[in-house]
Amino acid sequence: MMKTTRAGFPVLLLLIGWLVSPSADCSSAEPTKLLIAFASYKERGKQPKVYFYEHDGVASGKVVGQIDSVNQRSDHHPSLSSDGRYCAFASEQENQVGKIQLWDRTEKKAVDLPKINDSPNGQLHPTLSGNGKLLAFSAWNRPMAGTRWHVVLYDVAEKKIGDLPNLNQGEYDQRMPAISGDGRWLAFTTNSKNGVGQTDLFLYDRDAKQALTLSELNSKNMDAEPSLSHDGKLIAFVSDRPGGAGGRDIYLFDRATSKFFPLPGLNSAAHEQAPSLSPDGRYLVFVSERISGIGERDIYLYDRQAKKLLPTPDLNAKQEDIDPCVIALP
Amino acid sequence: MMRVGMGRSRNCEGINRREILRVGGLSLLGLSLPEIWRAQAKSPTPNRDISCIFLWLDGGPSHFETFDPKPNTPDNVRGPYGTIQTSVPGVHFCELLPQLAERMNQFAIIRSMTHSDGSHAPNSMMTGFAGGRTSHGAVVTKMMGGSGDMPPYVHLGKKLGVGGGHLGAVYNPIEVLDPTGGKLALPGFELGADVPAARFQNRSDLLNSIDQMREGMHQSREVEKMDVYYQRAISMLTSPKVREAFDLSKEKETLRDRYGANFFGQSCLMARRLVEAGTRFVQIKWYDGPAWDAWDVHGADLAGMERMEKMLCPRFDHGLTALLDDLKLRGLLDTTLVVAVGEFGRTPKINQYGARDHWPNCFSAFFAGAGIPGGTVVGASDREGGYPANTPVSPLDFAATIYRKLGIDTNTDLRIRPFIGSAAPVAALM
C-alpha cells in the first residue's frame, strides 16, 4: 500500500486537480470516449440532418443516432451539453426563416423553448453550455435589436431570453457565438471597428458584463468561428492570416499565457473550418476539404496529446459532412 | 453517350461497327468535329491562338460579398463581413476573398455590369441576349475552331440550356458531368472490356470498319470529301492526348489540394489541362449541391450567408487563384482568357433570412489573362451597390469583350455582328 507522505499529499491534491480540470497541456494519460454531433447531407442531398457518432478516442467509432427531422427541413450546427443528453441545433424549414431547437437524446424529442424563436427573421448558430441550461445563438434583425446580427442568450431553465449587458453595442454585427461549458464566457465573431482586423473574435465575460477584444489573438485578417474549452481559457478558431498551411487554418489560443499552441499535422493546404474543442481541450474536431477525403467537406478528429489525426471510420460520407461538435463522454 | 465497344450487333472481331463511331455526338450520320474542322478550313482563322476558360457562377453571386463591398452603408446593406485591401491601392474586396485580393494587380473587375433579367436563365450573360441560345463558346468554336486534335469546346458540369443554338447542335460543347475523382470515364470514350485498346487503336481496322459501313450509304462526292475529317475525328478518338487531358489522376495530389478538393477546384484544374492540350473554350458551371443552387444564397435554406462564408467564397478564392497561379507558372496566362460571372448580383438590402435576393441591375464580372490589364476596375456601382454609377456594361458589351480578346475583330468581321449587334468591347480591358 502506498504511503502518502506529508510532502506527497499536496502533490496528490495537485494531481487530482490536474486530472479533473481542463488541461492546457492535455497531458491526460488515457484516451477519452467521445461523442461527436454533426450535420450531413448523406441521406438528403438538399437538406442536412444531425447525427451522433461515438468514438473510442483511439481509432474506432460508429454512428449511434440522429435527430428526427421533417421533410424539407435543414438541420445543422449541433451543439451538445457536456453529458451528451441535449443537443441544440439550427433548423430551416424550406422557405421559412431559421429557428433554434433543442433535442433531448434520451427522450428522443424536442424540448419546448417558448419565445426563443419569437422573430420573423433568421436565427442560427446555437451554442449550449455544459449543463444545457444556457443557449446562445445569432439572430438577424431581431425585433427591437436593430438590422444587424446579434448574439442572444436564452435561459433554458427559466425559458426566457437572458440579458447580455454591454454586448450587442454599436452598429456592428455580432454572430457565431460559442459559450464555454461553465457558461461564463461567450466568444463571438464581429466586424466591429474596435478590433484588430476585419472580422475579429471578442470574448464576453458574463460575470464582468464586459467584452474583451482579444488583441493578442486577432490578426489583421479574418478571424472567426470560435470554440471554447469548458473554462473558456482555450479558444480554437479559424483564420486566414498569413503564415498558415494554406487557405483557412485552425488555431488554438491559450488566454492564460496569450500564446498559440502548435497543432502539428492538423492544418493542410486545403481550407480547415468549423473547429470544436472538447471541454478538456484535448480533442479538436473540424471540417476540411482534402483530396484524400471521402466527400468534399469531411470531418476530422485531432488528438492534441497524440499530436495527430485519429481515424474516424464510418463518420464521413461521400456527401458533405459539416458542423461537428465534440464532447468527452462521462 | 454510347460506350465504345458495346452493342448488340457485333462482327467476328467483337467490334460494333455501327456504334464504334457513335461517340459523344460524333455519329457517322452527323459528324460534329469534322464539320467544325471543315468550316475552319474554309474560313480564315485569326492569327492569335487564345483560349478561354469561362467560369459560370451559377445562381448569381453577391457582388457585396465578393468584389464590391460597401462597408460604409447602413446595417441592412453592409452585411456582416469586413473588407480587405487588395494589392491595388484604393481597391477593396470583401474579406471572404483574401487570395484574390492579393492578386488584384493581375486581373480586372467590372463593377458596373447591368441588365434587367432577374431569372436564373443563363442566356443574357452566356449569349449576350435575354432569349439567346447560342453561347460564346459555340460562336468561338464556329469562328475559330479548335487547336490540334482536342475537342474545341468543352463544358464541365450540368447542362446549361445554351450551346450551339441557332448555329446547330454541331457546335454544342462536349459535356463532362463530373471531372472529380481519379481516372475520368470520359463520356463516350470508355472502352468496353471486350475491345482492347490495342485493337481499338488499330486505325486500319477502324478505317476498314468505316468502309464496310459506308457500303450501304449513298455514295457521293460529298461523302468522299469527308474522308480527311473522318480520319481526323478518328485520330482524336484514338488519341492518348485527349484521354490524358481529362485524367486528373495525372496531377500531383498536392496540386489537386491547392485547387481545392471540390467540384469547382477540380474543374479549374481540368480546364487548365484542356487548354494546355489545345481546347479553345472551356466552360465550367458551378455545381449544385449541397443545398440549393450554388451562389443563389437567399438564406432560405441555411440562414444568413453561411454558404457564402464557409463554402462558396473559400472555394472560389482558392480554386481561381490556383488556376491563375498555375496558368502563369506554365506560361499559359497570356494566351488564356479567364472570365468569371453569374446571372446577376444580389439585392443591396438584406432580407429576412439575413441574406440577399436576385439583382440584375448591378453586379461584378472578373477578367484575367490574354493581355487583360491587371489592376483595372471598370466602372463603379452607386453608394449602395444598386445601380451603375458610371460605365454601364451590358451583356453584349461583355460578349464583345470576350470575342475581341479571343482574336475576333469585332469592328470589321461581319460574321460576329449577329452575336453582338452594335456593342463594342470594354475599352479599358483592351
The pLDDT of residue B292: 58
Q: Are A216 and A194 in contact, with CB atoms under 8 Å apart?
A: no
Average pLDDT over residues A92-105: 92
The DSSP output letter for B151 is -
Whether the CB of B72 is below 8 Å from some CB of chain A: the reply is no
Identify all chain A residues contacting B314, using CB atoms and an 8 Å cutoff.
247-248, 271, 273
Grid cell for residue B65: 460579398
Q: Cβ of A45 and B75 within 8 Å?
A: no
How many domains in chain A? 1
Within a domain: A253: no
Could you read off the pLDDT of B128-142 as tens digits, one per residue?
999 899 999 999 999
The closest of A172, A142, A218 to B79, measured between CA atoms, is A172
The pLDDT of residue B157: 87
Whether the CB of A240 is below 8 Å from some CB of chain B: the reply is yes
How many domains in chain B? 1
The closest of B187, B244, B155 to B24, measured between CA atoms, is B187
How many Å lie between the alpha carbon of A195 and the closest alpha carbon of chain B?
Answer: 11
> Does residue B322 carry a pLDDT above 90?
yes
The pLDDT of residue B47: 45
Q: Cβ of B354 and A141 within 8 Å?
A: yes
The pLDDT of residue A28: 58
> Does residue A19 carry a pLDDT above 70?
no
> Does residue B193 carry a pLDDT above 50?
no
Burial (CB < 10 A; 0-12, 13-18, 19+), residue A20, is exposed
The pLDDT of residue B288: 66
The pLDDT of residue B77: 95
Question: Is A17 or A252 the better-scoring residue by pLDDT?
Answer: A252
Could you read off the pLDDT of A64-87 as tens digits, one per residue?
999 999 999 999 999 999 999 999
Q: Which of A173, A240, A270 sits opposite B257 (nearest CB)?
A: A270
Whether the CB of A248 is below 8 Å from some CB of chain B: the reply is yes
Average pLDDT, chain B: 80
* Residue numbers of B between 84 and 113 with CB closer than 8 Å to A: 84, 95-96, 98-99
Residue B245 half-sphere exposure toward CB, CA atoms < 13 A: 23
Residue A208 half-sphere exposure toward CB, CA atoms < 13 A: 8
Could you read off the pLDDT of B64-115 as tens digits, one per residue?
999 999 999 998 999 999 999 999 999 999 999 999 999 999 999 999 999 9
Whether the CB of A285 is below 8 Å from some CB of chain B: the reply is no
> Does residue B34 carry a pLDDT above 70?
no
Question: Is B172 or A323 the better-scoring residue by pLDDT?
Answer: A323
Q: Cβ of A74 and B289 within 8 Å?
A: no
Within a domain: B119: yes
Grid cell for residue A305: 496529446
The pLDDT of residue B302: 72
Strands B358-359 and A272-277: unpaired
Within a domain: A324: yes
The pLDDT of residue B307: 87
Average pLDDT, chain A: 90
Could you list the beta-strand ranges (E) of B240-356.
281-285, 336-341, 345-346
Identify all chain B residues contacting A296, using CB atoms and an 8 Å cutoff.
261-263
Which pLDDT band, with edges at 50, 70 and 90, does B149 fall under? confident
Grid cell for residue B39: 468550316
Average pLDDT over residues A94-118: 94
Q: Are B341 and B393 in contact, with CB atoms under 8 Å apart?
A: no
The verdict on whether omega for the bond into residue B290 sits within 30 degrees of 0, i.e. cis, is yes
The pLDDT of residue A6: 46
User: What's the rounded Cα separation, in Å, for the pair B250 and B247?
Assistant: 6
Sheet architecture: strand order including A174-179? A174-179, A185-190, A200-205, A210-212
Q: What residue type is A6 in one-letter code?
A: R
Grid cell for residue B378: 471598370
Q: Which is it for the CA torsion B135, B141, B146, B152, positive or negative? A: positive
Please state whether A288 falls in left (phi above 0), alpha (psi between -120 and 50) or beta: beta
> Does residue B203 carry a pLDDT above 50?
no
Question: Is B188 or B300 the better-scoring residue by pLDDT?
Answer: B300
Average pLDDT over residues B173-189: 57
Whether the CB of B82 is below 8 Å from some CB of chain A: the reply is yes
Could you read off the pLDDT of B387-405 as tens digits, one per residue?
999 999 999 999 999 999 9
Range of the domain at B350: 47-180+262-429
Identify all chain A residues contacting B80, using CB atoms and an 8 Å cutoff.
148-149, 173, 175, 191, 199
- Other C-beta atoms closer than 10 Å to the C-beta of A118 total 11
Q: Cβ of A247 and B353 within 8 Å?
A: no
Q: Cβ of B83 and A221 within 8 Å?
A: no
Whether the CB of A175 is below 8 Å from some CB of chain B: the reply is yes
Q: Cβ of A246 and B258 within 8 Å?
A: yes
- With H, G, I as helix, E, B as strand and everything else as coil, classify residue B96: coil
How many Å lie between the alpha carbon of A123 and the closest alpha carbon of chain B?
Answer: 7
Whether the CB of B253 is below 8 Å from some CB of chain A: the reply is yes
Which pLDDT band, with edges at 50, 70 and 90, does B412 fall under? confident
Could you read off the pLDDT of B240-281 as tens digits, one per residue?
787 788 888 889 988 988 999 888 999 999 999 999 999 999
Residue of A nearest to B83 (CA): A198
Q: Cβ of B95 and A222 within 8 Å?
A: yes
Identify all chain B residues contacting A198, using CB atoms and an 8 Å cutoff.
81-84, 95
Within a domain: A249: no
Identify all chain B residues contacting A322, using CB atoms and an 8 Å cutoff.
310
The pLDDT of residue A1: 36
Could you read off the pLDDT of A228-277 as tens digits, one per residue?
999 999 999 999 999 999 889 999 999 999 999 999 999 998 899 999 99
Identify all chain A residues contacting B302, using CB atoms and an 8 Å cutoff.
74, 76, 92, 98, 124
Average pLDDT over residues B186-211: 41
User: What's the rounded Cα separation, in Å, for the pair B70 and B362?
Assistant: 13
> Does residue B171 carry a pLDDT above 60?
yes
Residue pairs spanning A and B at CB distance below 8 A: 146
Q: Cβ of A289 and B262 within 8 Å?
A: yes
CATH number at residue A311: 2.120.10.30
> Does residue B189 carry a pLDDT above 60?
no
Whether the CB of B371 is below 8 Å from some CB of chain A: the reply is no
The closest of B152, B123, B207 to B36, measured between CA atoms, is B152
Burial (CB < 10 A; 0-12, 13-18, 19+), residue A2, is exposed
Q: What value of ipTM does the predicted structure carry?
A: 0.88
SS3 content of chain A, % helix, strand, coil (to 5): 5, 40, 55
Could you read off the pLDDT of B354-368 as tens digits, one per residue?
999 999 999 999 999
Grid cell for residue A299: 470531418
Q: Which of A90, A121, A269 sits opposite B257 (nearest CB)?
A: A269
Q: Cβ of A96 and B300 within 8 Å?
A: yes
Whether the CB of B178 is below 8 Å from some CB of chain A: the reply is no
Residue of B nearest to A323 (CA): B310
User: What's the rounded Cα separation, in Å, for the pair B307 and B300?
Assistant: 11
CATH number at residue B109: 3.40.720.10
> Does residue A5 carry a pLDDT above 70?
no
Average pLDDT over residues B174-191: 53
The pLDDT of residue B39: 58
Beta bridge partners of residue A273, listed in sequence order: A287
Range of the domain at A289: 30-191+274-328
Which pLDDT band, with edges at 50, 70 and 90, does B36 fall under? low
* Residue numbers of A between 3 and 32 with CB closer than 8 Å to B: none
Q: Are B84 and B304 in contact, with CB atoms under 8 Å apart?
A: no
Contacts 24+ apart (CB under 8 A), A17-24: A21/A231, A22/A229, A22/A230, A22/A231, A22/A233, A22/A234, A22/A279, A22/A280, A22/A281, A23/A280, A23/A281, A23/A282, A24/A233, A24/A234, A24/A254, A24/A256, A24/A257, A24/A261, A24/A281
Whether the CB of A267 is below 8 Å from some CB of chain B: the reply is no
Q: Cβ of A45 and B98 within 8 Å?
A: no
Helices (H) then strands (E): counts for chain A? 1, 24
Whether the CB of A49 is below 8 Å from some CB of chain B: the reply is no
Which pLDDT band, with edges at 50, 70 and 90, does A295 fall under? confident
Question: Is B234 or B119 the better-scoring residue by pLDDT?
Answer: B119
The pLDDT of residue B61: 96
Whether the CB of B303 is below 8 Å from some CB of chain A: the reply is yes
Q: Cβ of B302 and A222 within 8 Å?
A: no
> Does residue A196 carry a pLDDT above 80?
yes
User: What's the rounded Cα separation, in Å, for the pair A250 and A271?
Assistant: 9
Spacing of C-alpha B422 from chain mean position: 25
Identify all chain A residues contacting B70, using CB atoms and an 8 Å cutoff.
none
